[in-house]
Structure 1
Amino acid sequence: MSTWTSKPARRLCRALALALAVAGPAVAEDSAPRAVSVSQGGLVVTGPSGYCVDMHASRDGTAGAFVLFGTCAALSGKSGFGRPSRPGVLTASVIDGAPAEGIASLLPEMAAFFATPAGKRALSRSGNPETVELRGSYIEGTTLYLDIVDRAASAQRVAPGYWRAVLALNGRTVSLSVMSLADDPLGESEKRRLLQSFVARMKSANGAGLF
């Protein structure tokens, strides 16, 4: 891989690693908000309708931000707060900085990178590339979508298959994922549509166009 693509790829590896652990204090407590500001106020993280931020599991520090979403009803304990008919588990990882060249032109190289052992290692929840299968990827505008299976033992509470999106917003590299519970897995089309909705909400909340 050439130098001009390796730096963005390493940056994305860092963003993906944040889904496992992020150093830093918990974000400000506010029950179960639908949106939270991270990266020193530089980015708003919000999910699709019916999803709220799990403040106890979310982090925002110098290494980056990690935000976990659950259903608003489950997190608030109030059914009137909204609950999707088929709930998923959503995460957002954010680090400062995005490729100076513009991320759209780099997405094909990034897709190719994630198909390599090094890329699969970045995607693996256990850091083991052998647990990961990249079933497919596609680019829509300025967003890279990845269809992933991760059979790492640490992922036993969620189904192995999930979808991830990589994009740049407000000068930050953002990784969004949609997983489903192992005992109530979502269909592939459901996960993909939910992720597309997640991406659209993030772009809208941060003043970016849908493409």
Structure 2
Amino acid sequence: MARFIGRAFAVLSPLVLAGCLGDINGTVPAAVTRSVMDGQVVVAGPDGYCVDPRATRENRDEAFVLLASCSSVSATPSATAPFAKSLITVTVTRPAQTGEFDASLSGAEAFFRSSDGRSAIAMDGDPSGVSLVSTETTDDMFVLQAELSDNGRAEGLGRNQWRAIFVVNDNLLSASVMSLASSELSAETGMAILQALVRKIRATSPKAG
């Protein structure tokens, strides 16, 4: 199950994220949603967040979507502002077998407390730079808050981040909310953004028929 959960982070390499941070503040049209996996999943952020199409990547088995404040993505100061700024990433992964989902969710905490799991969170791959602040497992989602050292995060990001592992239409999603170095989020605010993100994706994606 560690192998399967780890796949959800394969797209989010340090080079990809560093490139995303460098490219924000562009002039591209601000889209509020992005459909991936043949329309099975629609990625959408909380109010005030837009998809950056330049950073979105998708192949047959997985997709990566970056969201930031609409004003940052489109370089339009008048765009709707989120109640708190952060950088949001969503990875969507098709399972090798549908039956692996339950095992993945139930084994998520053990994975992220392991060296491999903390390496998946760290931008430099060093597990020693990652501390798990809190975790929670429910029937349909796993949530964590992590704190990263200076070496464990990309330039421009803050110390704290929040992640949720959940399933939408037989696809495994890993949604992350990352503080910006210029505006570190409180635990309550970071979790509120993450929960709003998960609710929006579930509400926007088509219902399983």
The bucket for the TM-score relative to the shorter chain is 0.7 to 0.9
Q: Deviations over 1:53-101 (max 9, x none)?
A: 0111111123521111011122223334301242111110111127633
TM-score w.r.t. length of structure 1: 0.83
Q: CA RMSD in A?
A: 2.2
112, 132, 135: which one pairs with 1:134? Answer: 132
Q: Name the counterpart of 2:45.
A: 47
Aligned partner of residue 99 in structure 2, secondary structure: coil
TM-score w.r.t. length of structure 2: 0.84
In the superposition, relative to structure 1, how do residues 134 and 180 fare at CA in structure 2: closer, same or farther (>3 Å)? same
Larger relative contact order (Cα-Cα within 8 Å, sequence gap ≥ 6): 2
Deviation at 1:201? 0.4
In the superposition, relative to structure 1, how do residues 106 and 59 fare at CA in structure 2: closer, same or farther (>3 Å)? closer
Aligned partner of residue 160 in structure 1, secondary structure: strand
Q: Name the counterpart of 1:86.
A: 84
User: What is the rounded CA distance, in whole Å, between the counterparts of 1:165 and 1:98 in structure 2?
Assistant: 20
Tell me, yes or no, if the aligned pair for 2:164 and 2:176 is still in contact at 8 Å.
Answer: yes
User: What is the rounded CA distance, in whole Å, between the counterparts of 1:105 and 1:116 in structure 2?
Assistant: 16
Q: Name the counterpart of 1:17.
A: 10
Moved over 4 A (4+): none
User: What is the rounded CA distance, in whole Å, between the counterparts of 1:144 and 1:207 in structure 2?
Assistant: 22
Aligned partner of residue 70 in structure 1, secondary structure: strand
Tell me, yes or no, if the aligned pair for 2:140 and 2:166 is still in contact at 8 Å.
Answer: yes
Q: Deviations over 1:147-199 (max 9, x none)?
A: 11222355231012110000111111110000111121111110001000000
Q: Name the counterpart of 1:125.
A: 123
**Where do residues 28-177 of structure 1 align in structure 2 (5 Å cutoff)?**
31-97=29-95, 100-101=98-99, 103-104=101-102, 106-151=104-149, 152-177=151-176
Structure 1, gaps ≥5 residues long: 1-5, 23-29
Deviation at 1:107? 2.8
Aligned residue pairs, count: 195
Q: Name the counterpart of 2:25.
A: none
- Which is worse superposed, 30-39 or 179-188? 30-39
Tell me, yes or no, if the aligned pair for 2:66 and 2:90 is still in contact at 8 Å.
Answer: yes
